[in-house]
Amino acid sequence: MHARMRILSVCLNPAIDISSEAENIYPVSKVRTCCERVSPGGGGVNVARVLSNFDTPCELVYLAGGGTGKMLEDALLGYKIDGHCFAIDSPTRVAFTVRQTSNNQEYRFVPEGPVVNESAYKRLMAYLSETTLAEGDIVIVSGSLPRGVPDDTYSRIAQVAERQGARLILDSSGAGLATALDAKESIFLVKPSLNELQRLAGRKLDENGARDFAGSLIADGKAEHVAVSMGSHGAFLVGKHSTLRLPAYLVKLVSAVGAGDSFVGAMVYALAQGHDMETAFRYGVAAGAAAVMTSGDELCRRDDVESLYRAEDQQSEL
């Protein structure tokens, strides 16, 4: 990684992620669980965790509050992450994932999260506005917008990045994503899932339609690159002059939690190492596959990512 490169990950709606297992899940009756795991979570937090696992320095800027916010702060101490927490008045949300072992089905419960008070939001935005970035630095904005935060928050962060020549990577959905793409700032990379892209387009898209719509975002100057994940159907990357389509890896599905965040984290790692966008995309696809091989909220393991990436690289040379 270039010594001067700075990586900043922003998470406005983090979570405490609790995952567990149960043989069967029934209504009304108590469901006894086992194998509980508790981890810091939320889009930008997970991306920072992946970068930490890849020994890549990252600064995490996030909002958190209450007892669960303290749990989140303490949990992050186990990672190589430079954390900057801005305290909110309400408790940080708690998300639950339960895997039913009898049929390997996963149930995910994700609360909308707290209402963010205006003073905490202003302090965080002031910090970002005053942050010194250099050309080529990376700012990652990942996750949903919490309640109480303006829809144009991500476009404001894009302004901060563009003003200093930094590259903005956006992985979100809903009003935050749509408003950022409608702003005048060009985003370096947008990484929606196919479902998120369809919501953005306002219509159902087959793969060709999804590529065309992604291409229109680039043609309109809204993004430089669009990486679309399609689950078991693979992923594609659209740039100004090229499109790269990769199939999904054939791996054992254990848990889909954190696959998208692993995808983004590995892409950022590869870019920080000086790789081009297509190589970074290959790392991202490998990391997404590696994430589904792990249980609960574990995210991708570096050895698995490297192994899958090498296997795909060797296959492409044949």
Q: Cα–Cα distance between 40 and 74 in angstroms, integer?
A: 9
Q: Cα–Cα distance between 135 and 202 in angstroms, integer?
A: 35
Q: Quick one: which of 248, 256, 253, 267 has its CA closest to 298?
A: 256
DSSP conformation class of 152: T
Decide if 276 is catalytic. no
Q: Which two tokens stand for residue 288?
A: 């997404």
Most distant CA pair in the chain, distance:
57
- Map tokens 């010594």 to a residue: 3
Q: Quick one: which of 143, 144, 187, 183 has its CA closest to 162?
A: 187
Q: Which residues contact 312 (CB under 8 A, 6 or more apart)?
A: 246, 249, 282, 285, 286
User: Of residues 17, 137, 171, 261, which has the active-site annotation?
Assistant: 261
Beta bridge partners of 101: none
| DSSP structure string for 4-71 | T--EEEEESS-EEEEEEEES---SSS----EEEEEEEESHHHHHHHHHHHTT--EEEEEEE-HHHHHH
Parallel/antiparallel/unpaired status of strands 34-41 and 93-100: unpaired
- CA torsion, ordered 269, 229, 75, 127, to nearest 10 deg: 70
Q: Quick one: which of 141, 140, 146, 49 has its CA closest to 93?
A: 146
Note whether 37 and 297 are within 8 A (CB): yes
Whole-Å CA distances, 271 to 182, 186, 213:
26, 18, 25
- Catalytic residue numbers, as ranges: 261
